[in-house]
Amino acid sequence: MVRASALYIVIIIALVIAVLCSSLIVSAYYYREGYQHKFRYDQLENNLASGINIVLESNDTTFQISKSMSLFGHNNDSVSLRQVMWGVYDIGTVRSFIGKDTLSRCFMIGHEIDSAKWGALYLSDNDRPLSVSGKTSITGDAFLPKAGIQAAYVNGIAYTGSKNLLTGKKKASEKVLPLPDTARPMQLSKLFSLKGDHLNQRDSVQNSFFDPVNIYNLDKNAEVVSNVRLKGNIVLTSDTTLTLDSSAKLDGILVYAPAIVVKSGFRGNCQLFAKDSISVGKNCHFTYPSCLGIIRTRRTPIEQTPAQINLGPDCSVEGLIFTYEAQIKEPKAVMMLGKQDTIRGMIYAPGHLQLSDSTWVEGSVFTSGFLYKSPTTLFENYLINVSLDGQALSRYFLGGEAAPATTQKKKVLKWLEKK
């Protein structure tokens, strides 16, 4: 029998049902929100990957200015793409967005090595053989003059290496070194005259690659960059000799100056470009991807001295060391590596390359000729106690835009930033 006042009981039951249903609805709503969020971000990741692939397959000029586009003509596939020159490498920035949701990635781009042109050594053919002495070892293919390779007895040192003199295939070299892409050095040469703000050396500066570049110009007086940390999208220029102290921490930045001096004990990741000379003290370490380059598009009467890169002992460079002269004239550029230096990457020396005792190159050496200086004599095309190992280089190594023996295929060299 139903008691009187059933309405009150029904209202309570209805309230309980309503609360139960509401909790179910709320949980389903949050589940849906979570799923849709994940789905949206999966789609953003997918669009981002598509954008990165487009940048990697585009030529250098297509995305110099940021370009927004719809990938497939739908309303949820918008991306913004940009690719800019960053020294010998490129920087790509890709942003994908759906409504207010955005994902961004910034990455450095390098070029894949051309295995057909790659070797431990490319010595241009100057009708002179390559002579090896001491514990010299060449591992990997080598492009050598027609006169070949021979063991030699120099300064009382006999050859004590492998009987074959070379581990790898012997290929014939041309009279002229494989030329690098000339467009990039020409573009880089224009950046020596960049003007910007004065660098306050008491500050640490970090600039994102998603933001416009920060350019700092040092005064005409030779300045020492010390006790400062510079990271990211930063270019440092100077009108005269620029000195980098070991207390300066550089990470990913570019430096342009007529001459650059790096003090002993420096550690960093940067690309240094000079017109005349780069002098590196002892025990300096440049991590991958770094670059030391001399760029001379024209030689003024004042610039009659040879361009020079000089590395002190116990240094390591991971990346690229090169000299570029639009017209190779005497005196040729000279690159000098110190004792127990380690280079992981590529050396491109169209002038002379002087290697010292126990120099270790993991990668490739391109040169027109080696120099070996004893206290009394200067030897040409002699290698003494030097290791050149083309096979020891990481298979993930990527070269720069200006480097020879690289293909047009671009890959992500390093992830820089993500948002």
Partner 1 sequence: MAGKKITLSHKAVASTLLEVIVSMVLIVLVAGIAMAIFGHVSRLSLSAKKAAAYAVLEERMELLEYHPADSSASSSNSDISIEQEIQPYLSNKHLQQVHLTARDAHHNEIASLDKIIISP
- Return the biggest CA–CA distance within the chain: 124
| Smallest distance from partner 1 to CB 104, Å | 18
Nearer to partner 1, 15 or 176 (CB): 15
Contact 132, 150 (CB under 8 A): yes
Nearer to partner 1, 44 or 355 (CB): 44
Total interface residues for partner 1 by CB under 8 A: 36
Q: Please calculate the CA angle 271-296-284 and round it to the nearest 5 degrees.
A: 30
Task: Please list the helix, strand and coil fractions of the chain in percent, rounded to the nearest 5, in that order.
Answer: 15, 45, 40
Contact 266, 248 (CB under 8 A): yes
Pick from 21, 116, 176, 183: which binds partner 1 (CB under 8 A)? Answer: 21
Pick from 7, 146, 195, 211: which binds partner 1 (CB under 8 A)? Answer: 7
| Site membership for partner 1, residue 68 (CB under 8 A) | no
Residues 70-89 binding partner 1 (CB under 8 A) are 71-72, 74, 77
Nearer to partner 1, 96 or 385 (CB): 96
| Smallest distance from partner 1 to CB 209, Å | 23
The window from 15-23, 187-195, 316-324, 377-385 that contacts partner 1 (CB under 8 A) reads: 15-23
Q: Is 348 exposed, middle or buried (0-12, 13-18, 19+ CB in 10 A)?
A: buried
Q: Please calculate the CA angle 161-346-244 and round it to the nearest 5 degrees.
A: 115
Residues 23-42 binding partner 1 (CB under 8 A) are 24-25, 28-29, 31-32, 35, 39, 42
| Site membership for partner 1, residue 17 (CB under 8 A) | yes
Nearest to 254 by CA among 298, 285, 217: 217
φ, ψ of residue 25 to 5 degrees: the values are -65, -45
Omega before 185 within 30 of 0, i.e. cis: no
Please tell me the distance from the alpha carbon of residue 166 to that of residue 138, in angstroms, as a whole number: 5
Pick from 40, 41, 56, 102: which binds partner 1 (CB under 8 A)? Answer: 56
Interface positions with partner 1 (CB under 8 A): 1-7, 10-11, 13-14, 17-18, 21-22, 24-25, 28-29, 31-32, 35, 39, 42, 46, 49-50, 53-54, 56-58, 71-72, 74, 77
